[in-house]
Structure 1
């Protein structure tokens, strides 16, 4: 009988090093997002500060939106990797690709913010604006969400990668497709940026609505597991 060989697992310190590397990459990427704001000139000739803020409102909004979305995605990523005892080649490459997409976000968020700056308003695009930049930005955001979802699905299908006390989360309803729905919504915003940039500039608000509507609900088993974790003095 022919035995199918499984991918070798990297465990122990290798898992810790992968988590530390991932956290470091995300920390650097999320810090780089603020660099375009440093180049913004301050008030000139005694002008009030709000004139600078309103003039660069697009860049500020894109920075804050990207910063908080990446922070939420990192939190999900951290929760996933805190439950693994090892990783195989598919999980390693999914994580590496996820990090590559994260690293590209500072550049694309800067370009996207410049697109708003060219029009002089956050809601009024000029003819010189480039909707293709917006499309690539939202495609990249969708990629980050989709790759995170793929990592979660890979772990649920390969329980040998999880710690003995950890179990794959079983969700019901629309929450089962939360990652795919959010990724699809990102793509929808990107496509709308090509045809109706003004409408697309308001669509990111829907991300927060979806996040609340699709928030996973804890099962009784998960609540009990969380209680055990808390009793051990660990922070959830």
Structure 2
């Protein structure tokens, strides 16, 4: 006779939140792949009947190839940072989803900014547009990390790099750790207590020096 398995409501809710975070991560991977594909589609194809003509064509399109390599490295760095953080996220908030979509918008806008910076015209304005996209992408990702910390959306058993759960300070009373914000900071005052205690014991048990007079009090 089999016993029916009882599932707690909290377990199903936690699994649903974890599944939502996993779906968002999969969506991010797909959008990043599309952005890299759009970046490669704009690469000019070199032409030439001879080797010299082919090399001359490659040299003529050198700025397009350099801009492609730079944008590829930037998008890959953003994806890698996201890949290191989001596997430790246990649940989502509406603000976190909105910030992630804003960050993805900047990633998709990167191929367009790359085409603009390699086009003809006023270079300062074109460079300003490219730099603005980079700044907004970095700022949106910083807000994503801030939202994860603020909402405690990370897993307590394996928090993301640089994030410590606040409950650690409660589990370690008297360990010389102070809770500042969402992290744990060692308390320097705690380190001085054992040192002072050792000095006191050493002074108390120190034998009298030779030649020293013992003064008796009546």
Q: Which among 136, 145, 152 is matched to residue 145 of structure 2?
A: 152
Compared with structure 1, are the counterparts of its residues 67 and 11 closer, same or farther at alpha carbon in structure 2 (3 Å cutoff)?
A: same
Aligned pairs, number: 151
- The list of structure 1 runs, each at least 4 consecutive aligned residues, that deviate by more than 3 angstroms after superposition, is 44-48, 168-171
With the length of structure 1 as denominator, give the TM-score of the two structures.
Answer: 0.58
CA RMSD of aligned residues (A): 2.4
Q: Does 1:100 align with 2:113?
A: no
In structure 2, distance between residues paired with 1:46 and 1:166: 55
| Aligned-pair CA distance for 1:113 | 1.7
Q: How do 1:170-209 and structure 2 match up within 5 A? A: 170=162
Select 1:109's aligned residue among 114, 117, 121.
Answer: 114
User: In structure 2, do the counterparts of structure 1 residues 156 and 84 end up closer, same or farther at CA, with 3 Å as the change threshold?
Assistant: same
SS in 1 for 2:131: helix
Is this contact kept in 1: 2:84–2:160, CA < 8 A? no
- Match of 1:47, SS state, is helix
Residues 85, 160 of structure 2: 8 Å contact kept: no
Instruction: Give the distance between the partners of 2:112 and 2:83, measured in 1 at CA.
Output: 23
Partners of 1:12 and 1:60 lie apart in 2 by 40
Residue aligned with 2:159, SS: coil
Match of 1:162 among 154, 164, 170: 154
Matched, 1:29 2:35: yes
**Structure 1: 5+ residue stretches without partners:** 1-7, 116-127, 172-236
Contact residue 88 and residue 160 of structure 2 kept, 8 A: no
TM-score of the superposition, structure 2-length normalised?
0.63
Q: Quote the offset at 1:50 in angstroms.
A: 2.0
Structure 2 residue ranges without an equivalent (≥5): 1-12, 164-218
1:50 corresponds to 2:55? yes
How big is the shift at 1:168? 5.0
Quick check: which has more Rg, 1 or 2?
2
Q: 1:46 & 1:61 partners in 2: Cα distance?
A: 21
Give how far 1:111 is off: 1.7
Distance 1:46-1:170 versus aligned 2 partners, 3 A rule: closer
